[in-house]
Structure 1
């Protein structure tokens, strides 16, 4: 049904808020009037996001057209929460697509992005699709903390990176989800602040995503 979806560019919007969920009708020539409703996940993945997703599913249980498909558009967020989110997707056998729906109400889907921690949430989907034009990007994990500061004195900012045990946890998670742990090692070898957008070959090699259902 989704094999003919073509995601097209739309106006860029600021997407720095916490991830929210809503239902949108999928529009595609392939399914016509029989197109289902899908779940749109848009924003930053935070500690509360997995539970918010579960609550959202409960609230939409009466929608008979709703299918187990989530469209991701996210620049990342909390890595641990992303893994929890991924486990929920896998347990409920939900598919994931990288794409977004325009908040202005224009028919969708459009190209989207799944960057940094979003990739670990996407891993949990039973089927993972990154249509042409959508971007999936790796980024090295880090925690930025600020201390002190006051009137006319800036706070002291420190940045720390994931230690080997945390990287090993991510690698084991990836393997359980059917993903080559080399993806995790590649992400953690990147220079700070670098986002590496995956090529189709890399996504295929690491079993992360295909370009269509």
Structure 2
């Protein structure tokens, strides 16, 4: 059994708000609770723009924790580690209480949140899963390898740093890795805003730098991924939606009908504005736009923080932009992707 020992049972409750409502999940996660949570969601997740799931749980069944996390990512919910007082009709918006905990399987479920938050007074903890008794050594080893691969892939998909899985794997079931505030940020347990940690990958014979930000897309904002590259000795930024379904309508992408007439890049070294002659839009595909830069702007982009904004307006129903967050000294992957253009 892929569990951590516990007592009690999971409970769900709802705190409704105008724009944001919260589903409170308290108690241990047992086998079958993922389906119970989905059923509760289907019956109660309405009349709000945004939903946050508040966890206060010692953990429990690993597979159900993973399933809850994947479901939360699918529906775009946020998560937090927070405890609330009992519902009071006279106080419909209660303040959180200190002491919330989210350990083991709960921590994995928490990682499914698109936006994640651990307020002061809340703690999260990770460790190896508990395999239980009754398995031979060979069976236990095979099971461990399978589950380790499952967890590693899940954490990577949810945006955690690889080091989190390494630390988790080195923490025995009887112990708990409770990260500090600095570790929570460094391991991306709570996502840092903006596009950061660009990775170099081969693509169509080129080397490109790419980063995603699950939190960037919204009701109007389309950009999920930013890619930098050097193509025919020209520095290029490509902006991508998460899927083809979030692509641009033909009338927005077509030069004869679009209202989009250029873009702006704000860097630590100045603001640079360009017209439609350096912008290409794409209809009905994940690739939204290609921005053609000058070498000096590519250098500035790789040397510090930047804001990329395609000219648009709210009434059009489409916004395209994103903040690039660079480490001290600039992002080496972005610099490398532009190398042949500088």
Does TM, scored on the shorter chain, surpass 0.5? Answer: yes
Is the contact between residue 131 and residue 211 of structure 1 (CA under 8 Å) also seen in structure 2? Answer: no
Instruction: Show structure 1 runs of 4+ deviating over 4 A.
Output: 210-213
Match of 1:180 in 2: 161
User: Residue 42 of structure 1: CA displacement?
Assistant: 0.8
The runs of 5 or more residues in structure 1 that have no matched partner are 1-14, 27-33, 147-159
Match of 1:86 in 2: 69
Q: 2:179 aligns with which of 198, 210, 213?
A: 198
- Residues 40 and 66 of structure 1, relative CA distance in 2, 3 Å threshold: farther
RMSD: 2.8
Higher relative contact order (CA 8 A, sep 6+): 1
Q: Distance in 2 between matches of 1:47 and 1:59?
A: 21
Match of 2:190 in 1: 209
Q: Distance in 2 between matches of 1:130 and 1:92?
A: 20
Q: Distance in 2 between matches of 1:130 and 1:171?
A: 22
Match of 1:110 in 2: 97
Match of 1:51 in 2: 35
Classify the secondary structure of the residue corresponding to 2:132.
strand
Q: Distance in 2 between matches of 1:183 and 1:190?
A: 11
Q: Are residue 119 (structure 1) and residue 119 (structure 2) matched?
A: no
Q: Distance in 2 between matches of 1:42 and 1:140?
A: 22
Q: 2:53 aligns with which of 65, 70, 79?
A: 70
User: Residue 136 of structure 1: CA displacement?
Assistant: 0.7
Q: How many residues align?
A: 179
Q: Distance in 1 between matches of 2:80 and 2:16?
A: 14
Match of 1:168 in 2: 149
Q: Distance in 2 between matches of 1:144 and 1:103?
A: 35
Bigger Rg over Cα: 2
User: Residue 189 of structure 1: CA displacement?
Assistant: 0.7
Match of 1:149 in 2: none
Q: Distance in 2 between matches of 1:182 and 1:165?
A: 19
Q: Distance in 1 between matches of 2:109 and 2:16?
A: 23
Q: Distance in 1 between matches of 2:168 and 2:28?
A: 19
The runs of 5 or more residues in structure 2 that have no matched partner are 1-5, 135-139, 194-214, 216-342
Task: Give me the TM-score of the superposition, normalised by structure 1.
Answer: 0.73
